Amino acid sequence: MSTTPFKKTASLIALILSLTACNSPAAISGTLAGLEKENTKIYLIQPDDLQHVAASYLGKVIDSAIVNADGSFEFQNIPNTKEPVLLELAVQPTGKAGNYLQTDDLIQANYMPVVWQFGEPLQIVAKFDEFQKSFTIENPSDLNSALLAVRDIKVKAYQTYLADKHWNVEDGDELMAKEHALLQYKSALMEFADSTPYLLPALVALRWVSPENDYERVPEFLVNQCTKWKEKEAGHPWVKQLCKKSEPTNLPVLIGEKFPNTQLPLLSKDTVYIKDVLGKKLTIIDLWASWCAPCRLENRNVLVPLYNEYHDQGLQIVAYALESDEAAWKAAAARDGADRWLQSSDLKGDDAPFLKKIRVRTIPANFILDSNGVVIAKNLHGQDLMDLVKGSFEK
């Protein structure tokens, strides 16, 4: 039996529609519970650069959707790419721009990163007021499973180390306790980034370590991430950006590097080169100031006892002070008992040449060197520093 022209045309249209459906991106859609008001919008954001990931106002809004009365929503303007791409979904409080991301309160975070890949539908369920914490994906891909896993790690670490904690930063002990808690929180995310086989989830973890894009306290982590991903995905533009940021000229002296042999002006008016005053066993390069409360406590409670016990056995302390007032510096060192070890300063305050040379901006800070001047540890304080020194001399 012959086929009529009408039937041929209908079959051709059906075939075209079928092919179009097969080659069109699957939808990003879902359900949002606990809406604050009707006509709530949810936004789809695309970060163009690595520093735009998890950063408020920097990502580009590529679509928005009205959340229906039943909580359902669906995006239409989805990137047409075969390569996995990182996007962020965000719900907004009244009056906020579409690319505003709540990064301060991690439990109330209003956004969640996802990996969009051609042909893989994203069906999402979340609560409005705990969007990131409650965010789930139906049958997630391996990449999105990794993102959900690092989200869980972040929430747990935040609840363990930071949630409901209130530190009086005017108190030196409490400020150091806060710094320690922040490092514990970051360490959980860094461990994930170091162990995951997936680039985009690792980079989200990296950005969550520091939304401010400041890795001064954890530069080794940045370098390790560059090394890892340069071997696996060297062509990815975000890997190139990561490795540029991790160049040595952008970071403090790293563990394993030889400390610069800088000439320092001493409180005694002499000058010395660091290599000429290294301890026979260990040297602590201590960065402090008379106005820095935790530095003063460290002087009295940690450095003085260590110096008294181990100096004759080969411990040296070389202190550099961010001072502009010589009298204040001298008085603080004498009052703390810190004048018994080498004290140096250029008396240029925050414009200290030595800190610029070693690329440090934040105090208190320290570098622990072996007898050859190689950095074996850094930024250890309190009991951690005492344990390292004690362990080194009791081997």
Report pLDDT digits (tens) over 206-234: 999 999 999 999 999 999 999 999 999 99
Counted domains in the chain: 3
Both 216 and 279 in a single domain? no
216, 250, 284 — which closes off a domain? 250
Residues 121 and 231 in one domain: no
User: What is the value of pTM for the model shown?
Assistant: 0.89
Using the predicted structure, report yes or no on whether residue 2 has a pLDDT greater than 50.
Answer: no
In this structure, the strands spanning 282-288 and 315-321 are parallel
pLDDT surpassing 90 at residue 108: no
Could you tell me if 188 and 229 lie in one domain? Answer: yes
Instruction: Please indicate, yes or no, if residue 6 is contained in any of the structural domains.
Output: no
Is the model's pLDDT at 148 over the cut of 50? yes
Across residues 330-358, what is the average pLDDT?
A: 96
Q: Tell me the C-alpha to C-alpha distance, in Å, between residue 387 and each of 131, 255, 299, 301, 392.
A: 42, 18, 16, 14, 8
- Are 50 and 167 found together in one domain? no
pLDDT at 183 over 90: yes
Report residue 308's pLDDT band, with 50, 70 and 90 as the boundaries. very high
281 shares a domain with 227: no
Look at residue 192 and tell me whether its pLDDT is greater than 50.
Answer: yes
Mean pLDDT of the chain: 91
Q: What percent of the chain has pLDDT over 70?
A: 93
Residue 217 domain flag: yes
Final residue in a domain of this structure, among 250, 277, 309: 250
pLDDT > 90: what percent of the chain? 79
* pLDDT of the residue at 26: 52
Residues 125 and 211 in one domain: no
pLDDT on residue 8: 47
Q: Is residue 387 part of a domain?
A: yes
Residue 382 resides in a domain: yes
Collapse the DSSP code of 5 into the 3-class scheme (helix H, G, I; strand E, B; otherwise coil) and give the result. Answer: helix
pLDDT for position 105 = 78
Same domain, 227 and 291: no
For the ranges 71-80, 192-201, 364-373, the lowest mean pLDDT is seen at 71-80
4: confidence class by pLDDT, cuts 50, 70, 90: low
- Comparing CA positions, the residue from 150, 163, 376, 148 lying closest to residue 283 is 376
Q: Is residue 288 situated within a structural domain?
A: yes
Q: What is the CATH number of the domain that holds 296?
A: 3.40.30.10
Nearest to 306 by CA among 358, 366, 261, 354: 366
Q: Are both 118 and 207 inside the same structural domain?
A: no
Range of the domain at 201: 161-250
For the ranges 93-102, 139-148, 221-230, 239-248, which has the lowest average pLDDT?
Answer: 93-102
In a domain, 270, yes or no: yes
What is the C-alpha to C-alpha distance for residues 66 and 132, in angstroms, rounded to an integer? 19
Mean pLDDT of 191-204: 98
Q: Are residues 95 and 206 in the same domain?
A: no
Q: Give yes or no: residues 112 and 170 share one domain.
A: no
Q: Is residue 1 part of a domain?
A: no
In a domain, 85, yes or no: yes
Distance (Å, rounded) from C-alpha 124 to C-alpha 135? 7
Residue whose token pair is 């690595």? 50
Q: Among residues 250, 272, 290, which one ends one of the domains?
A: 250
75 closest CA partner among 32, 136, 34, 36: 32
Q: Using one digit for the tens of pLDDT, what is the confidence trace for 5-61?
A: 444 444 443 433 333 333 444 589 999 999 877 778 999 999 999 999 999 999 999
Q: Are residues 246 and 272 in the same domain?
A: no
Residues near 12 by beta carbon (within 8 Å), at least 6 away in sequence: none
Cα separation, 209 vs 213, in Å, equals 9
Judge if 134 and 37 occupy the same domain: yes
CATH assignment of the domain containing 39: 2.60.40.10
